[in-house]
Amino acid sequence: MTYAEFLATVRDQGGYADAEEARRVATAVIAALGERLPQPTAAHLADQLPAEVGELLADAPDQGRSWGVQEFVHRVAEATGDDEEAARAHAEAVLTTLGHTVSGGELNKLISRLPGGYAEFFGHPELA
């Protein structure tokens, strides 16, 4: 999947007005995910994403943050300037797109490294 295709899918998933809004939202969500993940997990994930998306994961900390879902949503809200309800919808649109972009094995590894509640964002609530 190319970066343009990734953003088009985010735009469709979230019902965003244009590609710029999809880019703004995708940047906020992927950057927050990058802070949440430990470096090795972020690096493996980045390898399966368009380069422009993978770059947002490059600054992942060695250990990653231990945020639960609510703190993750709060971070996305801060980054986008939207309320937490909108931030939750943004996270779902972007992470569902991400979940369809990476291999099933990589997605399973990623979700297994996150606490309960994150699987819903990736379009797989049954894995929570």
Q: What digits encode the pLDDT tens for the residues 44-64?
A: 899 999 999 999 988 777 777
* Domain harbouring 52, CATH code: 1.10.490.110
Nearest alpha-carbon partner for 90 in 34, 51, 32? 32
Q: Which two tokens stand for residue 4?
A: 């343009």
pTM for this entry:
0.91
Amino acid in the structure at residue 71: E
In this prediction, residue 127 carries a pLDDT of 57
Where in the sequence is the domain holding 75, given as residue range(s)? 3-127
